Structure 1
């Protein structure tokens, strides 16, 4: 039984139709594909100008025949309740709703219509299929976060069951935890690894200390797919050596789609089927292949919520070998998270702070940006931009979450600021460790 496809269908995502639509897009020749992109760009803009009051107010100067007249959207535009950003005919009950991780420091709630989300899954399944991974039959070893509240915890575990995966928590990266992780690999026929780069790298370092090759402990493994954080060349070499597997680099954004996936030629192939991706300079001028600039993305199918010329906050370079149908991402700058080190010696992924700060990321859009900095083993500072200051009750709630996810005797200081200092790439790094 194709359990994964079945679970998507039950939730209203027509995956079979989406797979067929994706195959039809991929079958187009170069001339047909260029026409397809132009038509789809016009169609999605026209839809939102007619049916989305939020986008109408943003796009008052748009000339439908002049792509350069289309304004750039940023995350700051989206710091308002979701209901004010939805198109006519859509509400929170008939769309897919989720939150961004906040890894860039700009968390917000977003929505996709169900057809758009079905196409997202078709795209993901297509790319993983390049490596013989079938979501209906391949067992996944998942290195991701998981909510610790009972409802959220069991909801994710149920999703994991239907998705044929086992989740390893990234909140504890100690040797004791990795010993249990290794034991699970020895007794389970996992087909592939998927998850946060930094956590998987920490596991590989543990294996190196123990002089263990993971493929020897779990012969069924085929590949390792890392996501959400930068994969550096030395870390990739470490993973390939200690896992004995091909290491595949994925780049995506939950509010959009899978953006790029390493193909079997070792190229970072961009998703040109459901997204339109541009590289722009500081004046919003489209740059030629080979030049470094801001990554700006248009979601071609999301009718529920506009993501049109959306500045994702990353800097990148398209390869000079790119074509309209087959663009290649030569380099991505940014998207890296440090490891949290605690007084007990315990380590955790920097993205742990997404789960800790989740309680203050409410739909009212009060907190628009935040960063977390570690100055001492037991001292952290949360700097945030908000309409009103966090209450003492909210601060206490966050402190309790820190203890629950990490360990006791941690000092959390809060600082409300007018703006947060950005990195050279223009992004906010959610977690920074100042420990030497």
Structure 2
């Protein structure tokens, strides 16, 4: 029984229709694919100009003659109540609603219509199938965090069971916890690992220290998928040696779905079926393959909420081997993350602060940006951009979240600023450790 697919269908996601549409897209000849992309680009822009007041206001009185006349949409543009950004006929009940992790320092809520979301999940499964992984049948060792509140935790546990995922919580990556991880692999027939790059890398270093190859104690393993953080070549080598299976790089974002996935030929293939992805310069003009610029994404099928020429916050380069049907990402700059080291020996991935940010995010969009810095073993500083200071109730709530997800007896200092310091690429790094 394909429990994951069944759960989507029970929640009225049109999976079969999505499957048919993707199959039809795949049948489009290479020499006609550019026409398909251009048609879908025009259709989605026209749809939102006719059915979405937020997008009509965003475009304003600009004259749109060419694609590059369309203004770039940033994350800050989306930091306003979600209800104000939905298209006519869509609401919080008949759409898929999610929140971004805030890993770039710009958290916001988003919506997808159910067909768009079903297409995204079918697309994930297609790409996983490249490597012999079936989301409906393959057992996943999931190196992610998990909400610690009762209902959030329960909801994720249920989703994990339905989706054939077994959670390896990355909130504590001390050697004792890593040994517990290892013991679980000895007892279960996992097909693949999936999770944050930094967490899987730490586990791999633990395995190498013990001179263990994971596949030798868990022969069913076929693949390791790393996501959410940049994968460096030297780290990929460490993981492959320790796990004993190929490592595949996934690039995605919750608001748009799968952006790029590594194929068996080690090409980082961009998703050209339901997304249009371009690289633009500082003047928002499309760059040719081989030139470095901002990654800008258009969701071609999302009618619930406009994601059109959306700057995701990364810098990338298209390969010169790219075609309209098979664009290839040559390189990507972004999503690196440090780890926090605590006095008691606990090691916590920087992306753990994703779960802390859930206490900062609010749908009114009051908190525009934030970054977290570990200044001492027991001290963290949160810098944020907001119209008003956090009040005592809010700072207490955030401090409690740090204690729950990171560790106890930690000092958290808050600094409200007019703007935050960015890297050379213009991207905010959500977490930085100053501890050697």
Provide the C-alpha distance between the structure 2 equivalents of 1:387 and 1:94, rounded to a whole number of angstroms: 33
Decide whether the 8 Å contact of 2:367 with 2:386 is kept in 1: yes
- Measured on the aligned residues, the alpha-carbon RMSD in Å equals 0.9
Provide the C-alpha distance between the structure 2 equivalents of 1:104 and 1:136, rounded to a whole number of angstroms: 31
Provide the C-alpha distance between the structure 1 equivalents of 2:32 and 2:287, rounded to a whole number of angstroms: 24
TM-score (structure 1 length as normaliser): 0.99
Deviations 1:262-294 (A, max 9, x none): 011100000001000111010111111100000
Deviations 1:115-147 (A, max 9, x none): 100010011010001011111110000001100
Q: Secondary structure at the match of 1:251?
A: strand
Q: Secondary structure at the match of 2:236?
A: helix
Provide structure 1 residue ranges, at least 5 long, that are not aligned to the other structure: none
Decide whether the 8 Å contact of 2:102 with 2:357 is kept in 1: no
1:327 lines up with 2:327 in the alignment: yes
User: 1:54: Cα distance to partner?
Assistant: 0.5
User: 1:112: Cα distance to partner?
Assistant: 0.4
Q: Secondary structure at the match of 1:125?
A: helix
User: 1:360: Cα distance to partner?
Assistant: 1.9
Decide whether the 8 Å contact of 1:61 with 1:69 is kept in 2: no
1:128 lines up with 2:131 in the alignment: no
Provide the C-alpha distance between the structure 2 equivalents of 1:12 and 1:198, rounded to a whole number of angstroms: 36
Provide the C-alpha distance between the structure 2 equivalents of 1:408 and 1:120, rounded to a whole number of angstroms: 39
Aligned to 2:287: 287
Provide structure 2 residue ranges, at least 5 long, that are not aligned to the other structure: none
Deviations 1:50-97 (A, max 9, x none): 000110011134555511111110011011000111000111111000
Decide whether the 8 Å contact of 2:101 with 2:357 is kept in 1: no
Provide the C-alpha distance between the structure 2 equivalents of 1:380 and 1:122, rounded to a whole number of angstroms: 40
Aligned to 2:380: 380
Provide the C-alpha distance between the structure 1 equivalents of 2:161 and 2:283, rounded to a whole number of angstroms: 47
Q: Secondary structure at the match of 1:355?
A: helix
Q: Secondary structure at the match of 1:258?
A: strand
Aligned to 1:79: 79
Deviations 1:397-420 (A, max 9, x none): 111121122222211000000111
Aligned to 1:44: 44
User: 1:377: Cα distance to partner?
Assistant: 0.7
Aligned to 1:34: 34
Decide whether the 8 Å contact of 1:46 with 1:64 is kept in 2: no
Provide the C-alpha distance between the structure 1 equivalents of 2:291 and 2:164, rounded to a whole number of angstroms: 41
Deviations 1:328-353 (A, max 9, x none): 00000111110111111100110111
Aligned to 2:56: 56
Q: How does 1:22-421 map to 2 (within 5 A)?
A: 22-61=22-61, 63=63, 65-421=65-421
User: 1:15: Cα distance to partner?
Assistant: 1.5
Decide whether the 8 Å contact of 1:45 with 1:64 is kept in 2: no
Q: Secondary structure at the match of 1:169?
A: coil
TM-score (structure 2 length as normaliser): 0.99
Provide the C-alpha distance between the structure 1 equivalents of 2:260 and 2:101, rounded to a whole number of angstroms: 18
Q: Secondary structure at the match of 1:36?
A: helix
Decide whether the 8 Å contact of 1:25 with 1:273 is kept in 2: yes
Provide the C-alpha distance between the structure 2 equivalents of 1:291 and 1:237, rounded to a whole number of angstroms: 27
User: 1:300: Cα distance to partner?
Assistant: 0.2
Provide the C-alpha distance between the structure 2 equivalents of 1:296 and 1:118, rounded to a whole number of angstroms: 22
Number of residues paired by the alignment? Answer: 436
